[in-house]
Amino acid sequence: MNYSMGEFDVAVVGGGHAGVEAALSAARLGCKTVLFTISLDQIANLPCNPSIGGTAKGHLVREIDALGGEMGKAADKCFIQSRMLNRGKGPAVHSLRVQADRTRYHEYMKKACEKQENLEIKQAEVSEIITENNKITGVRTKLGAEYKVKAVIVATGTYLKGKIHIGEQSFESGPDSALPSTLLSQSLIDNGIEIRRFKTGTPCRVHKRSIDFDAIQRQDGDEEIVPFSFETDKENLENQVSCYISYTNAETHKVILDNLHRSPLYSGRIEGVGPRYCPSIEDKIVRFADKERHQLFIEPMGLDTDEYYLQGMSSSLPEDVQRDFLRTIKGLENVEIMRPAYAIEYDCCDPVQMKPTLEFRQISGLYGAGQFNGSSGYEEAAAQGLVAGINAAKKIQGKDELILDRASSYIGTLIDDLVTKGCADPYRMMTSRSEYRLILRQDNADQRLTPIGYEIGLISEERYEKLKIKVEQVEKEIKRVKKLNIAPSEEINEFLVEMGTSPLSTGCKLADLIRRPQLGYDMLDRFDDSRPLLDSEVREQVEVQIKYEGYIPKQLEQIEAMRKMESKKLPEDLDYKTVYGLRLEAVEKLNRQKPQNIGQASRISGVSPADVSVLLVWLEQQRRAK
Amino acid sequence: MATIAAVATPDAVGGISVIRISGDKSLEIADAVFEAVNNVKPSQMQGYTCSYGFINDSENKHVDDVVLTVFRAPKSYTGEDVVEISCHGGRYITKKILRIVLKNGAEPAMAGEFTKRAFLNGKLSLTQAEGVMDVISSSGESQLKYANALKDGAVYRRITGIKNQLVEILGNLAAWADFPEEDVPEVDPLTLSDQIDRVVNDLTKTIATYDHGRIVREGINTVICGKPNVGKSTLMNCLSGYQRSIVTDIAGTTRDVIEESVVLGDLTLRLSDTAGIRTTDDVIESMGVDIAYQRIEQADLILAVFDCTSELDEKETELIDKIFNKNSIAIINKIDGENKIDRQFISDKFRYVVEISAKNEEGTDKLVSVLNEMFINNRSDADEGIIANERQKCCLEKALDNVNEAYDALNCGMMLDAVTVCLDSAVESLMELTGEKASETIVNDVFSRFCVGK
């Protein structure tokens, strides 16, 4: 029997990284929000590696923070080791990565939701969405509870019809033995949403006492720790653990190859599409047969546990094979498995059905976020959750939607890739996916996005004012160093030669010296008497902006051209068959995806430059006909 | 919007050709390329006025004397500033001027782009909208068709090769930047510099071939080949109308490659006569044979000459295998003599077979009609050809600029992220030709070559 359990503005289905950001942002924007999770103990769980950030993903976390999301703050609070990756490869690819304490991270996020005004958390399995005339009106749980809502954000992760495979065994399950969500898929299909099946996997966890740490290589965190959040105080941040590295060997590979027939991946029992960047160890060995060894990282799961995670060893081989091949690895000869590795298949949607707001075109008020949208990764999920939460709130409040374009952020790039190009396998963010990466750096995420977060209402007045001061300081200082003359002197020339760069014969501006690859802002301190006292973030910005000045105008030009096309809106209900002159292939693709604007249309594969011209003429024709 | 240029008159030999430039930078470009007899720069001219003067190349040499007409926005066909250059109507001159204009900042016009701009700027009435879309889509189709036709060519294969080199470099950089914790090889600046240098060289070489006119419209790069003394040189002489190659009865007379341009009907053939293909101990001659095979590799058209008075030998069947699937015509020469050759075998291997007697100048008209069938009837209209061609070159030049920038960035010690962005732009330019998406291709390359992922 069904019964009513009240009325909300926004219902979020799933309490993972997407769901939490979605629920928090909607509630913070004043919407009465309910967050459903199959288990309260799984909120913001890190079922795979308890690590946040990494290349491009670190950028996402900083952007989430700059917009007013929670992930960066949580990671700063719960990290146990922090490293800035890619130092020395250029600021565009600097990426922050931390190892988090899995339990504390969950607890932090659960508490953040609990204390959030306007947000109720319910342990329940949502079994149906309720719609009227293709519009969301409510959700129903497995127990029969009905909630009237105006918007639903589906963030079901790997729970949706989740199925775990370990060797010859398979069973319905969510991650970490949680219950799967078995009914919602059908309800979505009944409402015209196209569903497909992806797969991912996770390595096993092993007991600390069974690892021979002397036999493996240690990897420590950074001495000077940079936090994710622009609001986190840099003082008192400390690494508490080390991570370790070991390698597979010929014997490991032999054990795996000898038992390949027992892997569901190779026997064809798994139908879901797995991610290319996250291959199981058996995949790696088969596909890269000439590689003599594969790296694995041995990382602690937290401070209060002896569980260690074996990054790089994801597998769906039977438990006994897992034990046997792990025991061939140096340092793991006596390894004790606590949780076996598994592959998990799950239902997700094809994201080209969505607008860049992450709302489905078919059902008004229905949004998707995270792995449900075909992405993979905690950070990718959180970024989408934040955008979906903001947009659901904005729609309910009758405000302008938030669409972040590709030039604004990695978040915008991620969403545009998903909704415009779709994805053939679980989508992972990479710096190489952004054509504007010299501008989309992790160090300037606040300058790019905090003004937007402020306008939306997720950034406090105080934080916004702080940013404005920082931006002013940076601008002022850049102006100053560009004006400041440096005369040739014995002292400076000696220094320049020592740094491996040419001495001065005539005077130059300080900025010209900063621009030299061998030099930097800070090290020129002693030749700069009038230098004001500035924060390290300000100094960093001055240096990066001056060094990259030569490359940035070109990117800005491309951005301007892109935005011009992006501003030419296409009607959502346009039947492209009626646009004279389009090629058949273009009509099909455009009708399937209904792009928002000419820019998005031009990025759809199968839409040629001539088709774009036809659309421009068509738009002008419509404008004049009015 | 970018300033665009194209040849506005049909591609045929006529009295006058017109090159049209439209866009904000038209007058600026005209100032750079045009030297007026009265010393008034185009940017100082009134709309609807003409000026007589010269188009100069980058070394300030006169290319042609022309009449330049200025139309000022909005009073022009497109509604933008427009400059029209009326020059002497040879293909060579017209194209040369177009290239000078492109070099000075104009982009090759896209399908129907002048008309599109005219419409967007309110120069055409609403009722003409469908007509405009027609022009765009039909010229789009034919540009596409022409671009596809180019894909079979040697130049295109070379572009693909360069593109693949760049994708590989970018794949290395991407894997290295995106998977710093994995077992991915370090990118070593010295190796990278060598790789970039190689791309610079290849691009420069490829761009240079455009000036020799390697593409159909600029003359078909034709190689005459066959075993010694089948009459290759006689054929060349017959086609070019006067004795160019040394014709003797001693096999192996032609050791070097002899080149000649001849006009046959509507087509220009750039003929190379090669050394006879046979195994030889003569060092110079054997180098000639190597060059002959190399030429065959690069040719747009191969004229394989056979002597019907002798049987096919091993070397000839080897040659036939080498040129199988290439654009080739079998020429059976000396039909005035006794037939000993297996004609059936030849017509099985070649789509086109022409029988001639080069000595008596018999059968050349048949050759002309076969050439017309191969190169004219099957091609789309000429103007699109030129544009597709110029776009190819333009994209290559843009790519070269970007690769050079990457090279400079690397060698002055910039961080690799800046180098990567320059290379990205280069590959993007090349992919304009292949219609691929750079980021997708690079991501695919990373996952296919590197074992990355947790």
Say how far apart CA B271 and CA B262 lie, in whole Å: 7
Picking from B119, B120, B133, the nearest residue to A580 by CB comes out as B133
Q: A605: which 2 tokens?
A: 């594969």
- Residues in chain A with CB shorter than 8 Å from the CB of B452 are 277
> Are the beta carbons of B417 and A291 separated by less than 8 Å?
no
- Residue B278: what pLDDT? 57
Q: Given a cut of 60, is residue A205 above it in pLDDT?
A: yes
- Residue B14: what pLDDT? 67
How many Cβ atoms from other residues are within 10 Å of residue B120's Cβ? Answer: 21
Q: B22: which 2 tokens?
A: 């439209």
Q: Given a cut of 70, is residue B180 above it in pLDDT?
A: yes
- Residues in chain A with CB shorter than 8 Å from the CB of B144 are 608, 610
Q: Cα A370 to chain center, whole Å?
A: 9
**Domain definitions of chain B by residue range:** 4-109, 141-209+385-437, 219-375
Picking from A55, A609, A620, the nearest residue to B177 by CB comes out as A55
Picking from B134, B174, B416, the nearest residue to A90 by CB comes out as B416
Picking from A437, A518, A614, the nearest residue to B417 by CB comes out as A437
Nearest to A492 by CA among A468, A526, A455: A526
> Are the beta carbons of A613 and B111 separated by less than 8 Å?
yes
> Are the beta carbons of B454 and A92 separated by less than 8 Å?
no
- Shortest distance between the Cα of A55 and any Cα of chain B, in A, equals 5
A266-307 pLDDT per residue, tens: 777 878 888 877 788 998 998 888 899 999 999 999 999 999
Listed in sequence order, the residues at least 6 apart from B74 whose beta carbon sits closer than 8 Å to its beta carbon are B80, B121, B122, B123
- Residues in chain B with CB shorter than 8 Å from the CB of A89 are 176-177, 180, 415-417
Give alpha helix (H) positions in A349-498.
Answer: 378-396, 410-416, 445-456, 461-483, 490-498
DSSP per-residue letters across A183-201 = SHHHHHHHTT--EEEEEEE
Q: Given a cut of 80, is residue B435 above it in pLDDT?
A: no
Say how far apart CA A11 and CA A147 lie, in whole Å: 8
Nearest to A311 by CA among B179, B167, B159, B301: B179
Picking from A90, A277, A610, the nearest residue to B415 by CB comes out as A90
- Residue A608: what pLDDT? 83
Nearest to B21 by CA among B61, B66, B80: B80
* Residue of higher predicted confidence among B266 and A70: A70
The percent of residues in chain A predicted with pLDDT above 70, rounded, is 100
Q: Which residue has the tokens 């096309």?
A: A565
- Residue B259: what pLDDT? 63
Say how far apart CA A421 and CA A351 lie, in whole Å: 9
Q: First vs last Cα of chain B: how many Å apart?
A: 45
Contact between residue B101 and residue B55 where contact means Cβ atoms under 8 Å apart:
no
Picking from B139, B442, B454, the nearest residue to A432 by CB comes out as B442
- Residue A559: what pLDDT? 92
Average model confidence (pLDDT) across chain A: 94
- Shortest distance between the Cα of A547 and any Cα of chain B, in A, equals 9
Q: Is B5 helix (H, G, I), strand (E, B) or coil?
A: strand
Any A CB within 8 A of B126 CB: yes
- Residues in chain A with CB shorter than 8 Å from the CB of B113 are 613
**Which residue is closest to A417 within chain B, CA to CA?**
B440
A438-453 pLDDT per residue, tens: 999 999 999 999 999 9
**Residue A9: burial class (beta carbons within 10 Å; 0-12, 13-18, 19+):** buried
> Are the beta carbons of B137 and A581 separated by less than 8 Å?
yes
B31-89 pLDDT per residue, tens: 999 999 999 999 999 999 999 999 998 888 898 999 999 999 999 999 999 999 999 87
Region A581-610: what's the mean pLDDT?
A: 91
Confidence of residue B302 (pLDDT cuts 50, 70, 90): confident
Confidence of residue B324 (pLDDT cuts 50, 70, 90): confident
Q: A84: which 2 tokens?
A: 């800035």
Interface test with B, best of A57, A94, A246, A277 (most B CBs within 10 A): A277
For chains A and B, count residue pairs whose Cβ atoms are closer than 8 Å.
165
Q: A600: which 2 tokens?
A: 């998005």
Superfamily name and number for B141-209+385-437: tRNA modification GTPase MnmE domain 2 (1.20.120.430)
- Residue B213: what pLDDT? 39
Confidence of residue B252 (pLDDT cuts 50, 70, 90): very low
Q: Which CATH class is domain B4-109?
A: alpha beta
A350-399 pLDDT per residue, tens: 999 999 999 999 999 999 999 999 999 999 999 999 999 999 999 999 99
**Which residue is closest to B172 within chain A, CA to CA?**
A432
Any A CB within 8 A of B437 CB: yes
A512-542 pLDDT per residue, tens: 999 988 899 999 999 999 999 999 999 999 9
**Residue A122: burial class (beta carbons within 10 Å; 0-12, 13-18, 19+):** middle
- Residue A575: what pLDDT? 96
- Residue B128: what pLDDT? 78
Q: First vs last Cα of chain A: how many Å apart?
A: 54
- Residue B376: what pLDDT? 57
> Are the beta carbons of A92 and B447 separated by less than 8 Å?
no
Q: Given a cut of 50, is residue A242 above it in pLDDT?
A: yes
Any A CB within 8 A of B421 CB: yes
> Are the beta carbons of A432 and B119 separated by less than 8 Å?
no
> Are the beta carbons of B126 and A621 separated by less than 8 Å?
yes
Picking from A291, A547, A610, the nearest residue to B140 by CB comes out as A610
- Shortest distance between the Cα of B164 and any Cα of chain A, in A, equals 17
- Degrees, nearest 5: CA angle A163-A164-A166: 150
Contact between residue B231 and residue B310 where contact means Cβ atoms under 8 Å apart:
no
Type of residue at B374: M
- Give B336's DSSP letter: T
Contact between residue B293 and residue B277 where contact means Cβ atoms under 8 Å apart:
yes
Q: Given a cut of 80, is residue B139 above it in pLDDT?
A: no
Q: Which of B101-115, B150-164, B395-409 has the highest mean pLDDT?
A: B395-409
- Residue A574: what pLDDT? 94
Strands of the sheet with A10-13, listed across from one edge: A119-123, A33-37, A10-13, A151-154, A366-368
Conformational region of residue A129, where left means phi above 0, alpha means psi within -120 to 50, and beta covers everything else: beta
- Residue B132: what pLDDT? 79
Q: Is A302 helix (H, G, I), strand (E, B) or coil?
A: coil
* Residue of higher predicted confidence among A272 and A600: A600
A542-592 pLDDT per residue, tens: 999 999 888 888 888 889 989 999 999 999 999 999 998 888 889 999 999
Q: Given a cut of 90, is residue B183 above it in pLDDT?
A: no
Q: Given a cut of 60, is residue A457 above it in pLDDT?
A: yes
- Residues in chain B with CB shorter than 8 Å from the CB of A625 are 126
What CATH number labels B219-375? 3.40.50.300
- Residue A361: what pLDDT? 95
**What is the three-state SS of B183-238?**
CCCCCCHHHHHHHHHHHHHHHHHHHHHHHHCCCHHHCEEEEEECCCCCCHHHHHHH
* Residue of higher predicted confidence among A359 and B159: A359
The H helix count followed by the E strand count for chain A is 20, 24
- Residue B209: what pLDDT? 64
> Are the beta carbons of B412 and A517 separated by less than 8 Å?
yes
Picking from A432, A516, A614, the nearest residue to B137 by CB comes out as A614
Contact between residue A170 and residue A163 where contact means Cβ atoms under 8 Å apart:
yes
Say how far apart CA B239 and CA B232 lie, in whole Å: 11
**Residues in chain A, overall count:** 626
Q: A219: which 2 tokens?
A: 């990897």
The percent of residues in chain B predicted with pLDDT above 90, rounded, is 26
Confidence of residue B383 (pLDDT cuts 50, 70, 90): very low
Lowest-pLDDT range of A67-81, A180-194, A239-253, B265-279: B265-279
Strand partners for A99: A51, A81
Nearest to A181 by CA among A34, A15, A18, A423: A15
- Give B275's DSSP letter: -
> Are the beta carbons of B136 and A621 separated by less than 8 Å?
no
Question: In this structure, what is the dihedral angle of CA atoms A557, A559, A565, A569, given to the nearest 10 degrees?
Answer: -140
**Residue B406: burial class (beta carbons within 10 Å; 0-12, 13-18, 19+):** buried
Q: Is B339 helix (H, G, I), strand (E, B) or coil?
A: coil
- Shortest distance between the Cα of A605 and any Cα of chain B, in A, equals 9
The H helix count followed by the E strand count for chain B is 14, 13
- Give B302's DSSP letter: E
Q: Which pairs count as long-range contacts for A616-624, CB under 8 Å and 24+ apart, including other chains? A: A616/A568, A616/B116, A616/B120, A617/A581, A617/B116, A617/B119, A617/B120, A617/B129, A617/B132, A617/B133, A617/B136, A618/A579, A618/A580, A618/A581, A618/B129, A618/B133, A619/A568, A619/A570, A620/B119, A620/B120, A620/B129, A621/B126, A621/B129, A624/B126
**Which residue is closest to A83 within chain B, CA to CA?**
B181
Q: B426: which 2 tokens?
A: 């280069």
Interface test with B, best of A245, A284, A617, A622 (most B CBs within 10 A): A617
The percent of residues in chain A predicted with pLDDT above 90, rounded, is 84
Any A CB within 8 A of B454 CB: yes
B406-423 pLDDT per residue, tens: 999 898 888 888 899 999
- Residue B83: what pLDDT? 97
Q: Given a cut of 70, is residue B285 above it in pLDDT?
A: no
Region A76-92: what's the mean pLDDT?
A: 93
Any A CB within 8 A of B113 CB: yes
Picking from B132, B418, B452, the nearest residue to A617 by CB comes out as B132
Q: Given a cut of 70, is residue B148 above it in pLDDT?
A: no
Region B208-226: what's the mean pLDDT?
A: 63
Q: Which residue has the tokens 């990025």?
A: A603
Strand partners for B36: B53
Any A CB within 8 A of B130 CB: yes
Region B232-250: what's the mean pLDDT?
A: 59
> Is the complex ipTM higher than 0.90?
no
Q: Which of A36-45, B213-222, B308-317 has the highest mean pLDDT?
A: A36-45
- Residue B160: what pLDDT? 86
Say how far apart CA A215 and CA A212 lie, in whole Å: 6
Interface test with A, best of B173, B401, B417, B431 (most A CBs within 10 A): B417
- Residue B45: what pLDDT? 96
Listed in sequence order, the residues at least 6 apart from B348 whose beta carbon sits closer than 8 Å to its beta carbon are none
Picking from B417, B439, B454, the nearest residue to A89 by CB comes out as B417
Region B295-314: what's the mean pLDDT?
A: 83
Q: Given a cut of 50, is residue B244 above it in pLDDT?
A: no
> Are the beta carbons of A278 and B454 separated by less than 8 Å?
yes
Q: Given a cut of 60, is residue A85 above it in pLDDT?
A: yes
Residues B319-337 as b or e (16 or more Cβ within 10 Å = b): bbebbeebbbbbbbbbbee
